[in-house]
Amino acid sequence: MKKLLLSIAAVACAASMSATSYTVFDNTNPTEWTGGAAGWTTTVKAGDQTFTITTAKESSTATDLVNPTKYPSWRVYKGSSVTIESGSFQMKQVIVTFDDYSNNQYVGEMTFSTGWAGELAGTEYTIVSTGLNNIKMSSMTKQLRVAKIVVSDEEGDIEPPVTPDLPEDVVYRNTFEENMDGWVKINDTALSDFNGWKINTSETAPKCAICNSYYGGANHAADAKMQYDFDLTDRENCTLSVEQAFGYDFPIAQVENYTLYVICNNETQELAFSNFPEIPASGNWSKSFAANEWDLSEFDGEKITIGFRYLTDGTKSRAWEIKNFVLKGDKVGAVSTVAEENAAAEYYTLQGVRTANPTSGLYIVVKGNKASKVIF
């Protein structure tokens, strides 16, 4: 057992000696913000670190600051600021990636807090310091639209960042607010030249995956699918949830035009939707999304494909919108965290030397078979 603990500590020490990076903002995986017109704040937990991000109006002449998750990218108006506080984590590098939309229209200069210097290259700002736990950035010349922010405790090339933690039971999730994330599109091009599913990034419509074969001023026949492969071989008690809405066509029960299917062992099974949004009193689009959930436990331990099929003969307009796809399943044979929490803690220095009385500094703590870093 002692050899196992020392091995774990050695691995943890080796990891601690290399650069660590964290994704603290990603518009494809948004966090919850609180605030209002003058400013917004969010707390992000990634790996073993916690970051607080604040955006403030300051000298911006914009009427309001909007929630950073309202649009496809976070709008940082000219004169407004962004602050990242990292607690004990010493940020030596921050990389901000922007959406340029067209010809770098929303990529511009920034000014930084004391101790930080930055360089803009393309759609990325690389900001460096000797190691600080607070950075403030302000937009100087125009509105900026932020897509992603990664921080690191080392300068130079950033290692693949640690993303904000998913709950252990989440196999996969996609809000469909920004990208298809590898979902495969399958279109019957013999029916029309319709390109199928896409992400709706219009600022006047919900951010979601959408299939709508009305284009060029006419309706078109279509048989369009999007699907994704999932490995559930180490999962049990699996469930799926997703939200749907419609345009120009408002079913109140399952119809063949909008179907969800699961492929397992070369057999296809359709899953019926039970919840549908209310038919709007006016307008051509659903006013809200309806949430649906399915028990997929029959697919526990299997490799499956989940897909959405949009089917229309082109005689009328139809649009189908999908968002907040979440596939869950408990890990098979997961060790109870109670045993880990009750295990006696053992402390090691970064050189792997065990100590009974850690003082100030960074140590490796081992509880049971779990190792992590802790600062005293």
pLDDT at 336 over 50: no
Residues 220 and 318 occupy one common structural domain: yes
| Band of pLDDT at residue 105, cut at 50, 70 and 90 | confident
- Residue (of 192, 117, 105) closest to 141 by Cα position: 105
**Is residue 160 included in any domain, yes or no?**
no
Residues 251 and 371 occupy one common structural domain: no
Interatomic CA distance for residues 28 and 68, integer angstroms: 12
Q: What is the pLDDT of residues 156-215, one digit of tens each?
A: 766 656 656 668 899 999 999 878 888 999 999 999 999 999 998 777 788 899 999 999
Interatomic CA distance for residues 154 and 136, integer angstroms: 19
Q: What is the pLDDT of residue 341?
A: 54
Residues 16 and 106 occupy one common structural domain: no
Residues 230 and 369 occupy one common structural domain: no
Residues 237 and 305 occupy one common structural domain: yes
Interatomic CA distance for residues 365 and 348, integer angstroms: 6
Residue 110 CB coordination number (10 Å): 20
Residues 264 and 279 occupy one common structural domain: yes
pLDDT at 15 over 60: no
What's the longest Cα–Cα distance across the chain?
76
pLDDT at 337 over 50: no
Percent of the chain past pLDDT 70, that is, above it, reads 83
Q: What is the pLDDT of residue 1?
A: 36
Q: How many domains does the chain have?
A: 3
- Mean pLDDT rounded to a whole number for the chain: 85
**Is residue 214 included in any domain, yes or no?**
yes
Q: What is the pLDDT of residue 11?
A: 34
Mean pLDDT across the stretch 267-272?
97
Q: Is the separation of the CB atoms in 179 and 26 below 8 Å? A: no
Looking up residue 201, the CATH number of its domain turns out to be 2.60.120.260
- Residue (of 21, 22, 41, 39) closest to 31 by Cα position: 41
Residues 197 and 282 occupy one common structural domain: yes
Q: What is the pLDDT of residues 38-96, one digit of tens each?
A: 999 999 988 788 999 999 999 888 778 988 988 778 999 999 999 999 988 999 999 99
Interatomic CA distance for residues 163 and 178, integer angstroms: 17
Mean pLDDT across the stretch 216-238?
95
**Is residue 157 included in any domain, yes or no?**
no
Residues 28 and 124 occupy one common structural domain: yes
Percent of the chain past pLDDT 90, that is, above it, reads 60
Residues 184 and 207 occupy one common structural domain: yes
**Is residue 193 included in any domain, yes or no?**
yes
Q: What is the pLDDT of residue 370?
A: 59
Question: Whole-model pTM?
Answer: 0.52
Residues 189 and 121 occupy one common structural domain: no
Residues 29 and 62 occupy one common structural domain: yes
**Is residue 164 included in any domain, yes or no?**
no
Q: What is the pLDDT of residue 375?
A: 64
The residue range of the domain holding 16 is 1-20+337-376
How would you write 330-363 as a 3-class SS string?
EECCCCCHHHHHHCCEEEECCCCCEECCCCCCEE
**Is residue 366 included in any domain, yes or no?**
yes
User: Any idea what the Cα angle at residue 96 is, between residues 93 and 97, rounded to 5°?
Assistant: 140
